[in-house]
Structure 1
């Protein structure tokens, strides 16, 4: 338990530095200095800053799943649940971009470290959205020609496409300008698509 607490402390310190200076500019020395420990002590818990940001990504995703489960439980209709999901998903993306604050080439290389994490996260998202749609089918808010899992995969694939279109059409993520405009764009498009999606499978 003591080790888990120390790892959490390191992740919190790294998160502050990544947010303030970006992943690229933050070093293990910076993190150790922020914590007031030696680099040797830091390396005891994490082998490099990539392993720290991976642990941070896992924590962010776990928090997202817990938060969205609470929000969707409180929402009444399938549309409200999916709108809540789409909005919260953009917030998670925004947090990840703020932490990275890097050019797209570096972001892509870091993202490649997360293959297994992203695969598991996609599975959790798929299960979550499938459950939302299944409840909608049970409540007769949605027609039943397709299985809930098929609807969920289609919905998630389109939202992913909207995110990629908004952020990866530029050579560099400029945190002050592009992020604001891209977040605004993808949030609007995600909400619009969600409304069209629900209308399409409700008629």
Structure 2
């Protein structure tokens, strides 16, 4: 055991991870307060008590930091959704959990969501990348729900092409609902809208 006055050495990897984490936390706070355009690398460096040159060792631009922040946020939302879906028993319950958990998680990140929407409108390449990343992760989860329902006899069997088309249609409709509720801050009909969407989808393809 190490003497009480000494502490265990911190590995270089652990120190790098800690610095990256502090950078992302500080940057996310700044982005939500001021928006991406008004935040500079100097602002982020100052927030964590480091020099700009130190920041360059980890990230080459604020856009790279923003992408890292958003990737983590996407992972966080998808994890929450996946856990909620796993605890549901039927395909209908899983689909409701998928939609409701996703919208509730995004609502908590409303300030960051609005920044992302703004960036998607002004930077086509960035917007396309983020949409594809998110859409792919969502598609895997939604396909799993539908496949689960088919295996249990809740939903009718369908071809792979029809399955992919259905996933695309459902996610497109859900994204439209997201835009209405999140951009316009209108959550008055959240539960009823999701319940109707879920019921319509399930009973529309019911076995």
Match of 1:197 among 185, 197, 201: 201
Q: Compared with structure 1, are the counterparts of its residues 97 and 136 closer, same or farther at alpha carbon in structure 2 (3 Å cutoff)?
A: same
1:59 paired to 2:72? yes
The structure having more radius of gyration, on CA atoms, is: 2
1:30-60 deviations in Å (ceiling 9; x for gaps):
2112101112212221122211111111111
Q: Compared with structure 1, are the counterparts of its residues 61 and 49 closer, same or farther at alpha carbon in structure 2 (3 Å cutoff)?
A: same
| SS across alignment from 1:70 | helix
**Take 1:106 and 1:129, find their aligned partners in 2: how far apart are those partners?**
26
When the two structures are superposed, what TM-score results if normalisation uses the length of structure 2? 0.78
1:94 paired to 2:107? yes
Q: Compared with structure 1, are the counterparts of its residues 21 and 9 closer, same or farther at alpha carbon in structure 2 (3 Å cutoff)?
A: same
| SS across alignment from 1:202 | coil
Q: Compared with structure 1, are the counterparts of its residues 101 and 142 closer, same or farther at alpha carbon in structure 2 (3 Å cutoff)?
A: closer
Aligned pair count? 192
| SS across alignment from 2:205 | helix
Between 97-106 and 48-57, the greater mean CA deviation after superposition: 97-106
Show structure 2 runs of 5+ residues with no match.
1-12
**Take 1:52 and 1:103, find their aligned partners in 2: how far apart are those partners?**
13
* Structure 1 position 142, deviation (Å): 1.0
* Structure 1 position 78, deviation (Å): 1.0
Matched-pair contact (CA < 8 Å) for 1:14–1:52: yes
| Aligned Cα root-mean-square deviation (Å) | 2.8
1:160 paired to 2:175? yes
Q: Compared with structure 1, are the counterparts of its residues 57 and 141 closer, same or farther at alpha carbon in structure 2 (3 Å cutoff)?
A: same
Matched-pair contact (CA < 8 Å) for 1:46–1:52: yes
